[in-house]
Structure 1
Amino acid sequence: MPTDPGLTRLQQWLSPSYPIGAFAYSHGLETAIGTCAIISSDDLRMWLTDLLKNGAGYSDPILLVAAYRSENAEALQDIEQQARAFAPSKERLAETALQGAAFCQTTSAISDHDIPDLTYPVGLGYAARRHGLPLDLTVHMYLHSFVSNLVAAAQRLMRVGQVEGQRILTDLAPLIAQITQDALTSDLTDLSGSCFLADIATMQHETQYSRMFRS
């Protein structure tokens, strides 16, 4: 039976079992659900759609692609600084920086490539290039992992069943595919964001009294 080692590696990197701590971050969902900005599965679907079109689901693939195509260490560090500056809140910066550091350290430990500590999309893009993995598949699987983690977070915070969670992922699959294709023709001049409610939710989460998640 034919197998693709690159696909297997990406599946490993983006699996929930890869030790980057993704389960600890809700990307502001905890506040949005706690304040009743999200009260139903339809609300959750719309919130995630907005994140994909206008939030990190749009900007992270651009950073990933730029890191994958970076020509030298100086260019990579410039992308890294832009990724950090683009984080809309303290907790969102911690989310991408700490997951990225964990990803880079784990990947370095189990491979022949030394991956410096970078924010998550930048580190993944750089690591994928170093390992010769296809860019389009890397972006697509990253986005699917991003949305899957948020659906799983929502299921711990509100009444969204397992089947309904999978229905949301199925509904968002065409959008994930489209954003992947758009990212492949992007550069850093396309970097933007207008997901204000989600950004504000991550800011409010910093002072939330009782919480399960780190963002």
Structure 2
Amino acid sequence: MDTITLTDSHFLHILQLASSALPVGAYSYSEGLETLVENGEVANQATLQQWLEGELRYGAIRLEAAVMVRAMQAATIEDMEALHYWNLWLSAARETQELRNSSWQMGRSLIQLLGKIQPQIQPFADAVGNPSNYAIAFGIAAAHWQIDISAALLGYLHSWATNLITAGVKLIPLGQTAGQELLLQLQPLISHTAIEIISLKDEEIACCSWGLSLASMQHETQYTRLFRS
């Protein structure tokens, strides 16, 4: 990826947008990881790393991130029709009710938050309609704050990885040091994935996420649950 130059303001904006402290409820979702831990398929740092690497290479996060890029591009040129289209497209691409609901809930929370702290975003939210997917809301915010598109994409992927590693630390369980070590080890793949995603054409957006789908479906019938997905 080319060198990214950010002003202090842009840098702080992407930190805020990608922060785990952002009150969108991301901490309450494990994206099927809770099922995988209960079934013994993810049982330690190594197997968690394998799962996350597989998702970055082939999984639904690639599809979501590609749509986030398109939402950001559409918001930048105020193409409200494209924003609405990609929001519907992403909703239709969700393979389970829990995954779709998590995207909608986080998107709704982010849109509501942005409406309070940045009212100028409201016309974009109105164009998207309700419910809004999280990737769409993230793209709108990144465009409004004029964040470099590569930086926004890296922030989106890093935020996703941070959330799932935090879930893994709680579920397996792992130590905090192991979690930070894993996040550091994922950095090269996150960068490589961002390079691939940013160059995708519309017809190339795809994923192979049947493992995630099956894990998400089984979550509903788990005996005990800490997470909502």
TM range (shorter): over 0.9
Question: CA offset at residue 66 of structure 1?
Answer: 1.0
Which residue number corresponds to residue 69 of structure 2? 65
- Structure 2 distance, partners of 1:209, 1:74, is 43
- The reply on whether 1:168 has 2:182 as its aligned counterpart is yes
1:212 equivalent to 2:226? Answer yes
Percent identical residues: 29
Alignment CA distance shift 1:125-1:187 (3 Å): farther
Q: For 1:1-215, what aligned pairs fall within 5 Å after superposition?
A: 4-70=8-74, 71=77, 72-111=79-118, 112-114=120-122, 115-116=124-125, 117=130, 118-215=132-229
Partner Cα distance (2:121, 2:66) in 1 = 23
Bigger CA drift: 15-24 or 68-77? 68-77
Q: What's the TM-score once normalised by structure 2's chain length? A: 0.89
Under a length normalisation based on structure 1, what TM-score does the superposition of the two structures give?
Answer: 0.94
Structure 2: stretches of 5+ with no match in the other structure: 1-5
Q: Confirm or deny: 8 A CA contact 1:62 1:190 kept in the other structure.
A: no
> What is the SS of the residue equivalent to 1:209?
coil
The 8 Å contact of residues 110 and 137 in structure 2, kept in 1 or not, is answered as yes
Amino acid at match of 1:166: Q
2:27–2:163 Cα contact (<8 Å) kept: yes
Unaligned runs of at least 5 residues, structure 1: none
Matched residues in 2 for 1:172 and 1:137: separation? 16
Range with bigger deviation, 19-28 or 108-117: 108-117
Distance in 1 (alpha carbons) for counterparts of 2:70 and 2:157: 16
Cα offset for 1:130? 2.2
Deviation at 1:3, TM superposition (A): 5.9
CA distance in 2, matches of 1:23, 1:40: 20
CA distance in 2, matches of 1:80, 1:187: 17
